Homo-oligomer: A and B are copies of this chain.
Amino acid sequence: MTKETELKRAHKDFINIMPLQTGGILTDAAKQALLEFADGYSVCDFCQYSLYEITKPPIRDFIINALPKFLGCDIATITYGARDAKFMIMNSITEPGDSIIVDGNRHYSTIVAAERARLNVIEVPNSGPPDFKIDVEKYVPIIKNHKANAILLTYPDGNYGNLPDAKRLGEIAKENDIPFILNGAYSVGRLPVSMDELGADFIVGSGHKSMASAGPSGVLGMAKKWEDIILRKSALYPKKQVELLGCTLRGTAMATLMASFPHVKERVHHWDEQVQKAQWLSGELEKLGFQQMGEKPHRHDLMYFESLPLHDISKHTRERGYFLYRELKDRKIWGLQPGLTKHFKISTFAASRDELAFVIDSLKNIINKYG
In this assembly, does A255 line the interface, its C-beta being within 8 Å of a C-beta of chain B?
Answer: yes
Known: A111-B234, A215-B250. A116 touches B6 (CB 8 A): no
Contacts of A30 in B (CB 8 A): 38
Contacts of A18 in B (CB 8 A): 45
In this assembly, does A209 line the interface, its C-beta being within 8 Å of a C-beta of chain B?
Answer: yes
Contacts of A198 in B (CB 8 A): none
Interface residues of A in 6-42 (CB under 8 A from B): 6-9, 11-12, 18, 20-21, 23-26, 29-42
Contact indicator B215/A252 (Cβ below 8 Å): yes
Contact indicator A44/B20 (Cβ below 8 Å): yes
Known: A80-B80, A111-B236. A216 touches B250 (CB 8 A): yes
Distance between Cα atoms of A97 and B221 in the complex (Å):
30
Known: A214-B39, A237-B108, A246-B109. A2 touches B253 (CB 8 A): no
A256 CB to closest chain B CB (Å) equals 8
Contacts of A208 in B (CB 8 A): 40-41, 250-251
A95 (CB) vs chain B CBs: closest residue: B96
Contact indicator A7/B21 (Cβ below 8 Å): no
Distance between Cα atoms of A42 and B112 in the complex (Å):
22
A336 CB to closest chain B CB (Å) equals 12
Contacts of A111 in B (CB 8 A): 234, 236-237
Copies of this chain held together in the complex = 2
Interface residues of A in 182-200 (CB under 8 A from B): none
Contacts of A80 in B (CB 8 A): 80, 216
Contact indicator A36/B7 (Cβ below 8 Å): yes
Contact indicator B251/A216 (Cβ below 8 Å): yes
Distance between Cα atoms of A207 and B41 in the complex (Å):
10
Distance between Cα atoms of A179 and B83 in the complex (Å):
29
In this assembly, does A307 line the interface, its C-beta being within 8 Å of a C-beta of chain B?
Answer: no
Contacts of A23 in B (CB 8 A): 40
> Which A positions have Cβ atoms within 8 angstroms of B?
1-2, 4, 6-9, 11-12, 18, 20-21, 23-26, 29-46, 56-58, 61-62, 66, 80-81, 83-84, 87, 91, 96, 108-109, 111-113, 115-116, 206-209, 211-217, 234-237, 240, 242-243, 245-246, 248-253, 255-256, 258-259, 261-262, 338
A-B contact pairs, 16 of them (CB 8 A): A2-B61, A4-B32, A7-B32, A7-B57, A21-B44, A24-B40, A25-B40, A31-B38, A34-B38, A40-B211, A40-B213, A41-B208, A109-B246, A215-B252, A216-B253, A252-B252
